Amino acid sequence: KAGVTQTPRYLIKTRGQQVTLSCSPISGHRSVSWYQQTPGQGLQFLFEYFSETQRNKGNFPGRFSGRQFSNSRSEMNVSTLELGDSALYLCASSLGSSFAEAFFGQGTRLTVV
Amino acid sequence: KQEVTQIPAALSVPEGENLVLNCSFTDSAIYNLQWFRQDPGKGLTSLLLIQSSQREQTSGRLNASLDKSSGRSTLYIAASQPGDSATYLCAVPSGGSYIPTFGRGTSLIVHP
């Protein structure tokens, strides 16, 4: 059974650009959540999608957005990148709403220069 | 707002030692508490999940306890091995929701 797949694994972008990250959940999982991990702030919840609807949202500016497709794959987009957006972005998938049942991907390392 | 603190922030021990990692949280109205392991630059792997009605959970050399009333959990690692070297994070849901709040983690190095 394939795990959660995040692409790309590494990304370098210039300040002011935008970026799109992709997450393919475990087959059958309908919930995808996204997290940002930085040395300064630790691991923080961004948002969660379930059946193509955003169900929960963390405390991040509107530059951070996401969506989920009918096949449960999810993308997150960050517009007008700032140096502080450099981070490891993790996604997790689960069957239902319980975070306790979530499986994490390997993450996308974004570097903004 | 839920706040989660993990102590110590870092730990370096020789192989074979028994270890205790601590996690404290401010809002005791939680559904559960979960311990994760994270290898450098990688995702999280769930180690143990303790439901709010439970006092402890065990998996192999790992034992996690939960004391809701005092807002504390401990992760006990028996007979540590170099392969246990990683960062250990605890997470608790926030404000009655399922959204997790993570601690900053304990970075563990077990040297041969």
Provide the token pair at A30.
């309908």
Instruction: Give the distance from residue B13's alpha carbon to the nearest chain A alpha carbon, in angstroms.
Output: 23
Helix (H, G, I), strand (E, B) or coil at A88: strand
pLDDT digits (tens, 9 = 90+) for B9-60: 999 999 999 999 999 999 888 888 999 999 998 899 999 999 989 999 999 9
B41 in Cβ contact with A109 (< 8 Å) = yes
Q: Tally DSSP H helices, then E strands, for chain A.
A: 0, 11
CA distance A74 to A110: 17
- pLDDT band for position A88 (cuts 50, 70, 90): very high
Nearest neighbour of B102 by CB, restricted to A43, A48, A103:
A43
More confident of the two residues B64 and B27: B64
Mark yes or no for CB contact A56/B97 under 8 Å.
Answer: yes
Helix (H, G, I), strand (E, B) or coil at A112: strand
Residue whose C-alpha is closest to residue B37's, from B27, B46, B50, B24: B46
Q: Provide the pLDDT for residue A102.
A: 86
CA distance A13 to A74: 20
More confident of the two residues B100 and B5: B5
A93 in Cβ contact with A49 (< 8 Å) = no
Instruction: Give the distance from residue B57's alpha carbon to the nearest chain A alpha carbon, in angstroms.
Output: 14
B44 — contact with chain A (CB < 8 Å)?
Answer: yes
